[in-house]
Structure 1
Amino acid sequence: METNLRNFSGESIYVGIDSHLKSWKVTVMSDEMELRNFTQEPDTKKLSLFLHRNYPGANFKCVYEAGFAGFNAQRELTSEGINCMVIHPADVPTTDKEKRQKSDRIDSRKLARGLKNGDFKSVFVPEILQQQDRSLLRTYDKIIRDTTRVKNRIKFFLMFFGLSIPDEFQGKNWTKEFINWLEKLNPGGYGNLSLQILLDEYRMLSSQTILLRKQIKELSEQARYKANAELLKSIPGIGTLTSMILLTEIGDINRFAGLNELSAYFGLIPNCHDSGETKRVGRNTKRGNVYLKYILVEVSWMSIRYDSSLLLTYKSAVRKMDSNKAIIKVARKLLNRVRFVLKNKKPYQVNMA
């Protein structure tokens, strides 16, 4: 059928995109049938041109799964007048046959079919400025993790060569004096070069950490964050860094209907199975933001030192379960405090019920 001779005004065209680094598998459907299935370069302008040329006047709806590609394709397709949705990969309805015969063609067809049937709910797509701010905090987290790794490599290097750290540096590692001591070590041969490379990496990461901390502090003092950052810092255990992580990841707190929805975003909602007379509650779901969950749990360990109300929650929970599960109870309660101060624009009062 020569689709370019037909006017599609008033009709809906559903486009499922199975995105990969070097190609997109695209399925195009109407309300009645599958129209096309093809492979193209990962180029939004080419897809837009194809759709407008072959289905003039149609109401276009696209969908792809959240992943490595981020939200750039969504923004570009939207600017081309194409309604584009980004969804959680686990939300795609799949038959047993499709699970056993997986292919890019089948995956793009599932996306187009689910879009046509109204099965999907879009994940939150942040504004580009919020995404840029997020990248600063996420990069800082990666640099801190890399720094920990290189520190451990240096320590294992010393152990491998039988080089003991002097008592004067025990518990005071990574001071200027300790680094100077490392500089003077002589493992011999290529061991000297290996140690110097590790130390160079440590220095580079340290300088990047200092730069990022400075930028994060400056960002926290900008008008769009300053007031909310101060509110969050009124909660015990939350400082400038954590407040900025929360603000850049959450965005507008009002986009969450309630605490349960916010907790789900943080991965603090348990899996459950309720069928007939059987009801089981399992571990926390893995659907949430793993990065945010990790940060909130770390803050919870700090908060119970300063907030007796949270400490009471922890002590009560730890009688029934291990400490790692008990701290999740605290994290959920702490998240409720975060939600309260951001929604009500009031600082937190320590030990508030």
Structure 2
Amino acid sequence: MVQSNGINFKGQNIYIGIDVHLKTWSVTIITQSGYKRKHSQNPSAKELFEHLKKHYPGGNYLAVYESGFSGFSTYYALQEFGIQCMVVHAADVPTTQYENVMKDDSVDSEKLAKSLKNGSLRGIYIHRKENLDARNVLRLRRTFLKQLGGFKSRVKHLLYNNGIMIPDCFSRPGTHWSRSFMKWLREDVVLLSSTRTSLDMLLDTVELLRKNLLSVTRQIRFLSRSERYANDFENLISIPGIGLLVGMCLLTEIDDVRRFRNEKQFASYLGLVPMSHSSGEKICNGEKTFRGNKLLGLMLVESAWVTIQHDSIMAAAYGEYCKRMKGQKAIIRIARKLANRIFHVMKNGQKYEYDKCR
């Protein structure tokens, strides 16, 4: 048996690939010389640190794991024990055909450790702890909104299943889901069966989600006036097309605009850069890539429609684009220009000056 006493990895990098799961971590450790060792353990940063300290004393511990259900909690737990950590997007990890065919936790952790050692990984941005709750509040609103839309559709589906047509007085914009519409649903609707428990339960859920949506919107408004966000928020809403929700989503999702070197990198993060796929003589181009922050990208496209109604420069640019392409493609280019304005406003910390349409 080889004695481990006296082993010292001082000044050497120890590369650690972690396949993170709820109940276990699959870990692959590769030393600077190429020595490799694997093990499975409890999902504990402390346990991993104790293992490293015992078998690789004095080393510089460098770890990596794929972003997933644990978010940034694993990153911060590892950092507390002096383990430098990188979080990567799963799609950005180089993968061989063998690793795809023979995929398991051990193979995934080894793939991460090897890629970390050869320097082929690029980590995602790590949000500051104090910003995470505000970001979750904005995302929670989107979840409530999506759920509310789903339950409203279920109510209408139930009505149609029971042969009930919505009166013409509720067909105009703004009358659907008004107080009078809810009163009609509660008091006048009679289903095929003698009871209407299913409809009442759906209506209760709709009202609860509307209440939650109102509550989270008030919280977002409160955040926009807080010391942390107030100044940057006021600068952002000086740009035509940017309001409360878009402005606060930008601030909480981006966190620190200084992580982007230029407008192109910022637009790439938003998914507002052209897509290109070519092979031989076959060339396929698109106005927008599927990569990037899907929430912000869609929001800016929607904001661009408002921008062209209030900014003469953007309105003129949209008109020029429409001469050679469809409106849907033209508005993405306007969104790209809007992203440039946002980047400069956030970077310079100043309000935007623009020409209002007369």
- Superposed CA deviations along residues 222-264 of structure 1, whole A, max 9, x for unmatched, are 1111111111111112111211111111112122100111011
Q: Which runs of 5+ in 1 are unaligned?
A: none
- Superposed CA deviations along residues 162-196 of structure 1, whole A, max 9, x for unmatched, are 21122222221111111111001221437611101
C-alpha deviation, 1:19, in angstroms:
1.5
Contact 1:137 1:216 in 2 (8 A): yes
- The aligned residue for residue 284 of structure 1 is 288
Residues 346 and 51 of structure 1: is their aligned pair in 2 closer, same or farther, counting only changes over 3 Å? same
Contact 1:27 1:34 in 2 (8 A): no
Residues 275 and 147 of structure 1: is their aligned pair in 2 closer, same or farther, counting only changes over 3 Å? closer
- The aligned residue for residue 177 of structure 2 is 174
- The aligned residue for residue 219 of structure 2 is 215
- The aligned residue for residue 93 of structure 2 is 92
Matched AA of 1:183: R
- The aligned residue for residue 135 of structure 1 is 136
Residues 1:350 and 2:354 aligned together: yes
- The aligned residue for residue 10 of structure 2 is 9
Q: Which runs of 5+ in 2 are unaligned?
A: none
How many Å separate the matches in 1 of 2:278 and 2:191?
A: 62
Contact 1:3 1:55 in 2 (8 A): no
In the TM superposition, 1:1-353 aligns within 5 A as 3=4, 5-171=6-172, 172-184=175-187, 185-189=189-193, 192-273=196-277, 281-282=285-286, 284-351=288-355
- Counterpart secondary structure, 2:228: helix
Q: TM-score if structure 2 supplies the norm length?
A: 0.92
C-alpha deviation, 1:275, in angstroms:
8.1
Matched AA of 2:91: A
Residues 267 and 54 of structure 1: is their aligned pair in 2 closer, same or farther, counting only changes over 3 Å? same
Q: TM-score if structure 1 supplies the norm length?
A: 0.93
How many Å separate the matches in 2 of 1:249 and 1:296?
A: 13
- Superposed CA deviations along residues 147-166 of structure 1, whole A, max 9, x for unmatched, are 11111111222122121122
- Counterpart secondary structure, 1:102: coil
Contact 1:313 1:329 in 2 (8 A): no
C-alpha deviation, 1:66, in angstroms:
1.3
- Counterpart secondary structure, 2:318: helix
- Counterpart secondary structure, 1:224: coil
Residues 201 and 106 of structure 1: is their aligned pair in 2 closer, same or farther, counting only changes over 3 Å? same
Contact 1:17 1:64 in 2 (8 A): yes
Residues 323 and 160 of structure 1: is their aligned pair in 2 closer, same or farther, counting only changes over 3 Å? farther
- Counterpart secondary structure, 2:61: strand
- Counterpart secondary structure, 1:22: coil
- Superposed CA deviations along residues 83-130 of structure 1, whole A, max 9, x for unmatched, are 011112122122233233222221111110111111122211011111
C-alpha deviation, 1:298, in angstroms:
1.6
RMSD (Å), alpha carbons: 2.1
- Superposed CA deviations along residues 298-329 of structure 1, whole A, max 9, x for unmatched, are 21122222223222232333333333322211
Residues 168 and 61 of structure 1: is their aligned pair in 2 closer, same or farther, counting only changes over 3 Å? same
Give identity over the alignment, percent: 40
How many Å separate the matches in 1 of 2:237 and 2:107?
A: 49
Contact 1:4 1:54 in 2 (8 A): no
C-alpha deviation, 1:273, in angstroms:
4.9
Matched AA of 1:81: G
- Superposed CA deviations along residues 310-350 of structure 1, whole A, max 9, x for unmatched, are 22232333333333322211111111111122222222223
Residues 179 and 3 of structure 1: is their aligned pair in 2 closer, same or farther, counting only changes over 3 Å? farther
Residues 348 and 52 of structure 1: is their aligned pair in 2 closer, same or farther, counting only changes over 3 Å? same
Matched AA of 2:209: L
